[in-house]
A and B are shown apart, each in its own frame.
Chain A
């Protein structure tokens, strides 16, 4: 049981990374990752909405008729999104100023509907919570990572700190929409390559272990 809980949590961080493996939620990914801090802010907002809506949907999953489940999910997600938007505006105006633009985007973020549909409506609240947290953190690191790359290439800064000498030419194209596609493609490709290499290593170990056993036998 413990290992399966760990798995529910970890799968969102790598194996089933919503952005980089499942390639869902591309719209906000491409649109908001112009700077690392934007990606981080969007990711944190997604965690909040994803966790809240997953738990609620999991709690009421037995009452919702199958035919109207999607309108119900959307209403729940939209409610939480609006609440976080208003609460941030009221109590954290400075943070809201940075994130304000992205928060309404969360409603149409298909990662959240995807988790509601694929996981929360079939699992108990505790598991839905773990799954949502893992997925949310996955989104957060993914968006922050892509944002950091684009910020370094486009402005020479990361989280606003100058790390590339100002004399170096920065590539504005990385901040523009095409740069989002370039970066996403390269990151997804790199991730696939890493997985590929790891898979080959694993097979080699299995094979050499098998060979060792054969020799012993």
Chain B
């Protein structure tokens, strides 16, 4: 009994000490790490937009009225790249997906303990995660019955099977000395080989070309996929026309042994560019 008590005490002591030391270090060091990261991001933003002297965060809400509200114990995804109004207010316990990239009307009504609306009026193509037929479905799986109808009077693209989904985080507008838009930069996540690759991409909208790209975070294999951070790889995107194909081994040199990482970077940039262009055009900032 005394022996086992001693074991418990020693283990508890060691664990408490380790925990205490770690908590103290964490407490002291996180602000420094956060400050470092923020400074690094700010540097990167200006770095990929050589023409800009300052930048501001470009918000969709400010330019057009694109809303995505989730007022429930459910999740509401509303990927809208439309020049219109898109509301996805989910007042129900359920999951609501409404991907609308435009032309037509997409309605998603959930007749449960709440209403779900996803209205989009614009011109372009409609991208739905659900069905590639004429009708787009937005499913609301709720604690009850939920109906979601979507009518799209346009061309519907059912290309959602692709694993390469660009997740665009922030869009920054780079301003030159006169306060005019010199360039645009955006932070985007790609699905790499070892995890998420977070990049910042600079674009010159007027010239329709990239300025620079930079990898912010990644978890690719050292020596192989990790070479996406090397200048030799990144330089080929400088001044690249955004209308290029961005296809690995064609207009983008693939890193030997790291084709997955190369494709992830190239195709994510391509699809993100399309989305960003649509969104900025809608907001009149392109």
Contact = CB atoms under 8 A, between A and B. Distances in A.
A61 to B, nearest CB: 12
Nearest to B6: A65
A68 interface: yes
Contacts of A72: 10-11, 14
B25 A83 contact: yes
Given A78-B18, A79-B18, A82-B22, A64 B33 contact: no
B224 A86 contact: no
Given A86-B29, A87-B29, A89-B33, A63 B257 contact: no
A27 to B, nearest CB: 14
Looking at B26, B221, B223, the one whose CB has the most chain A CB atoms below 10 A away is B223
B223 A67 contact: no
Interface string B4-25: 0011001100110010011001
Contacts of B7: 65, 67-68
Contact residues on A (Cβ < 8 Å of other chain), bracket: 20 to 34
Contacts of B10: 63-65, 68, 72
Interface residues of B, number: 25
Contacts of A67: 7
A62 to B, nearest CB: 11
A90 B40 CA distance: 12
Nearest to B256: A172
Interface of A is mostly: helix
Contacts of A71: 11, 14
A75 B14 contact: yes
Prevailing SS type, chain B contact patch: helix
A107 B22 CA distance: 15
Contacts of A87: 25, 29
A175 B224 CA distance: 7
A90 B14 contact: no
Interface stretch (A2-10, A31-39, A127-135, A186-194): A31-39
B33 to A, nearest CB: 5
7 contacts: A38-B222, A64-B14, A67-B7, A68-B10, A72-B10, A86-B25, A93-B36
Interface of B: 3, 6-7, 10-11, 14-15, 18, 21-22, 25-26, 29, 32-33, 36, 40, 219, 221-224, 226, 256-257
Given A71-B11, A83-B21, A90-B29, 14 more contacts: A34-B224, A38-B222, A63-B10, A64-B10, A67-B7, A75-B15, A76-B14, A79-B18, A79-B22, A89-B29, A93-B36, A101-B222, A175-B223, A175-B224
